[in-house]
Structure formats: C-alpha cells, structure tokens
Structure 1
Amino acid sequence: MPTLTFRKAQRTDLETIVALLASDPLGQSREDASTPLPAPYVSAFEAIDTDPNQLLVVVTEAGKVIGTLQLTFLPNISRLGAWRAQIEAVRIDPNCRSAGIGREMFLWAFEQARARGCQLIQLSCDHTRKQAQRFYEGLGFEASHIGYKKVL
C-alpha cells in the first residue's frame, strides 16, 4: 500500500480534480476538463471551500494528486436529529486503481464523519457502475433506497 496523504483541496488542485472526474466513461460524458476550466467549476469550488459543512479532499502519493472525494455534512431532523455525511465525486487516477486506495479513502472518510458526530454516511451510485456497487457493498453500504434525479 502506498503512503497516502489526505488534505483539503486548494484552488490549484481544481484542474486535476476535474480531470479525475472526467477520467471514466460516465465522467467523460458530463465533465469538461478543458483549460482554462469553465467558470462554473471555479464558482463551485469557491462555494465548497467557504462552506464549513463541505470538505473537498485530494489524496496524494509522493506529492502527486491521485484521488479526490467530497464530503458534505448534513443536519437532519429525522433519526432524532442525527447528522449524516454524504460522500460524492470519488475518483482515483486510472493508473492507481485496484491498489487498495479507494478502500483507504473510504476508511478516512468514515473517520471524518465520526469526528463530526455523524451517525450515518450515505452515497449514491449511478446504476451503470456495477463494479462500484460491489465495492460499496464490500465496505458495508446497503442499497437501502431508490434515488431519483431531475435535470433543471
């Protein structure tokens, strides 16, 4: 297992993060990693960076960004007012996949959620990502809900 470092993403990481998001077939169909980056990415980064309930993270090995994920901390009235964490935008450099890095990223995210007092961690997964679904189930996630999205 490589030595991984987790840190809050910086503005200078944004091009790499978007490139990671675009590094698989699904991401290629919905991301634009051209440079300079389209302005909405910069605006989104600034909003995430200043929101105390958002944590955009990069994972580095020997100083090189090889992964990213976003954690959102959500207060809820349900479940006796329990906080939950939403994990999204998990990507690993294609050259680094299948080396246990994804598992380490999730274990790190679980600890961050516990440290923030979350009682539940959740994610959604595109129905076409069968391998990812097996990975999440191996980490103890259960497919407990049906999700819906509507493009506005």
Structure 2
Amino acid sequence: MGDLEIRHASADDLPAIVAMLADDPLGAQRESPDDLTPYRAALERLEADPNQHLVVAVREGQVIGTLQLTIIPGLSRKGATRALIEAVRIHADERGGGLGGLLIQWAIDTSRRLGCAVVQLTSDKSRTDAHRFYVRLGFTASHEGFKLQL
C-alpha cells in the first residue's frame, strides 16, 4: 500500500474524517461537515479517554481512511475486556484496494495487544457490502443489535 501510515487522528484531520463519515446516504443525514464545532469537542473527549483510539490512514499526506476503536472493560466472560470497532470509513477513491482490511487488522492487532478477548462491531442493516466485507475478514453475524435514539 505504498507509504501508508496508520496513526492517531489529530484536529487537523477532522475535515477529512467528517467528510468520509458524511459520504454515503446514511452519513449524509447524520453528519454536518460544514460545522466542525461538535466534532472538535468530541475529539477532545476521545483524546482524554485512554480507552478510545481514533485513527486515520494517511498516504502522501492525505487522510484516506479512519476508524474508532473503543476498549471496554467488563464483568461478563470472566471479566473479559472487549474491543468495539466503529465508524470505519474509506475515502471513495480508495475503496476496494485493501485499505479497509488493513485498518481492521490494525484494530484486531491493537485489541489483542491490549488484552481484549473479543472484537465486535455493528453495521447498519442497509450496508450489505460492508457485511460481506466483515464476513470475509472472519467476523460472524452472531447477535442481533438494538439501538435507542436519545
């Protein structure tokens, strides 16, 4: 993948991250790339929490991918720690080239290094391409997810 770097995101990366979050029909309804104020506040909260890992994939100075990895201590599974992968996005020009798999592998490797017993993620039911992608990477659709908007 050339000179690809996966690193923690910075405030300078927010415009590119938010643009990727907004670059599909679901994200276009939820995100506001024209106003980065709430995203800056969220990034400050993420940076203050050692269990949060917001990363970007960068090539030739351009942010081309992102994901958030959350480490969750717990009591179930004999006190196991789990990892949650969220907000996986690849720039439209980079999709299909293996970058998503590299980002997910980074998340799995980091989860293992941090002592997690399981890595989990959710994906909107309408994102069938993403579902096939996660299955190819070894994930199983083992649970039914529920959300309550507040």
**So what's the TM-score if we normalise by structure 1?**
0.95
Q: What amino acid is aligned across from residue 14 of structure 2 in structure 1?
A: L
Q: What SS class does the counterpart of residue 84 from structure 1 fall into? A: strand
**Which residue among 118, 126, 131 is the counterpart of 1:128?**
126
Corresponding position of 1:27: 27
CA RMSD between the two structures: 0.9
Map 1:73-152 onto structure 2 (within 5 A). 73-152=71-150
**Cα distance, 1:2 vs structure 2:** 3.4
Q: What's the CA shift for 1:3?
A: 3.2
1:49 corresponding residue in structure 2 = 47
State the aligned residue count: 150
Deviations 1:11-43 (A, max 9, x none): 111111111101111111111111x42x22111
Instruction: Tell me the distance in 2 between the aligned counterparts of 1:94 and 1:2.
Output: 18
Distance in 2 (CA, whole Å) between partners of 1:3 and 1:101 is 12
Cα deviation per residue 1:65-122 (whole Å; 9 max; x = unaligned)?
1000000000010001111100000001001100011011111111110110111000
C-alpha distance in structure 2 between counterparts of 1:131 and 1:3, whole Å:
27
> Identical aligned pairs, as a percentage?
51
Matched residue of 1:58: which SS? strand
Distance 1:111 1:16 in 2: 25
Q: Distance in 2 between matches of 1:69 and 1:149?
A: 20
TM-score by length of 2: 0.96
The runs of 5 or more residues in structure 1 that have no matched partner are none
Letter paired with 1:69: L
Please list every run of at least 4 consecutive aligned residues from structure 1 whose deviation after the TM superposition is greater than 2 angstroms. none
The one-letter amino acid paired with 2:129 is: Q
